[in-house]
Amino acid sequence: MDRERTKDATQVNRYRRRFLQGAAAAAATTAAAPVPSWGGSTLGDVFADFFQDHYQRMTPEEIQETLRRIERKAKRRYGVEIQCKNTPPQENVVFGYAINISKCRGYRDCVDACVEENNLGRDMRYIHVLEMDQGSQNLRTADRYYDRKQVPAQGKYYLPIQCMHCDEPPCVKACPVEATWMEPDGIVVVDYDWCIGCRYCMTACPYEARHFNWGGPRLSGAEINPDTHYLGNRPRPKGVVEKCHFCVQRTRENRQPACQEACPSGARVFGNLLDPDSEIRYVLENKAVFRLKEGLGTEPKFWYYRDI
């Protein structure tokens, strides 16, 4: 009973927050002519946003209406025609990632590709490349902000980290409004329109893979990637938590994540864990792989290995 009451209260707070956001946007723009009323949106779209249901409870028709509304809002906000997709998971597919740290040179091309592909604000990174001392596995002493004219540096190696898409994701359990969950293809996603910005998920994640969006992605129209997915790189509101989603807009269409394609040294291996002929299955079956903080029992679908 107490749990039900808590859930109801959370729901009420959610509605209240969204109403106040809409009212604030309307009030601000009413006083600042000639900007259009309702925060640059239409009255119909504002109300549709307010009453929008959780992604997993929307009907196919409601999802399509939501996608078209997102496209209209992007056009008004950035002056760009985007396509917001809802590509579903494929059957018999569970994605996993492996990184050959013998090949990673610390160039951070993966970081830049992720930023551009996923419409990130230029102050946010889903991927961090840690510079580590040779022989050390202590993540606390790693340098994630190294600024060198040339890499790799003598005596260092490089360890890229991002969302591990755990099979037992503590972030999902921590969310009080079920705004984050694991899809059938193993991708842990976020419904940005349902996130209340409490950041409990960030606290629960042992990999520091979730990031709070303090100001919303601030991008020009020229910087927008128009190929988007509702659960991926579509424009997000400010005040929500974001993270890597395995480039869902690409990988569900049999393409590689942007970070994998950008890696010049071939250190990244991404694929279907259920396909016995996939490269990642070869890596897992033939290399001495390890996972970060494996003792926590979160079962990351993200492995590391070295050439021997």
The stretch 85-104 carries a mean pLDDT of 98
Distance separating alpha carbons of residues 241 and 208, to the nearest angstrom: 12
The more confident residue out of 5 and 210 is: 210
Strand-pairing partners, residue 160, are 129
DSSP state letters, 253-278: TT---HHHHH-TT--EEEEETT-TTS
Q: What are phi and psi of 243, to 5 degrees?
A: -170, 175
Is the link from the previous residue into 176 a cis peptide, with omega within 30 of 0? no
The pLDDT of residue 1 is 39
pLDDT band at 38 (very low <50, low <70, confident <90, very high): low
The stretch 195-208 carries a mean pLDDT of 97
Alpha helices, DSSP H, located in the chain: 2-30, 43-50, 60-78, 109-117, 170-174, 200-204, 248-251, 258-262, 279-286
Distance separating alpha carbons of residues 179 and 174, to the nearest angstrom: 10
The pLDDT of residue 209 is 97
Class of residue 173 by CB neighbours under 10 A (exposed 0-12, middle 13-18, buried 19+): exposed
pLDDT band at 226 (very low <50, low <70, confident <90, very high): very high
Q: What does the pLDDT look like over 236-295, one tens digit per residue?
A: 999 999 999 999 999 999 999 999 999 999 999 999 999 999 999 999 999 999 999 999
Is the link from the previous residue into 88 a cis peptide, with omega within 30 of 0? no
Q: Average per-residue pLDDT in the chain?
A: 89
The pLDDT of residue 34 is 44
The pLDDT of residue 133 is 96
Q: What does the pLDDT look like over 134-159, one tens digit per residue?
A: 999 899 999 999 999 999 999 999 99
pLDDT band at 3 (very low <50, low <70, confident <90, very high): very low
The stretch 180-193 carries a mean pLDDT of 98
The stretch 11-31 carries a mean pLDDT of 46
Strand-pairing partners, residue 85, are 229
Distance separating alpha carbons of residues 237 and 50, to the nearest angstrom: 13
The pLDDT of residue 43 is 75
pLDDT band at 46 (very low <50, low <70, confident <90, very high): confident
* pTM metric for this prediction: 0.86
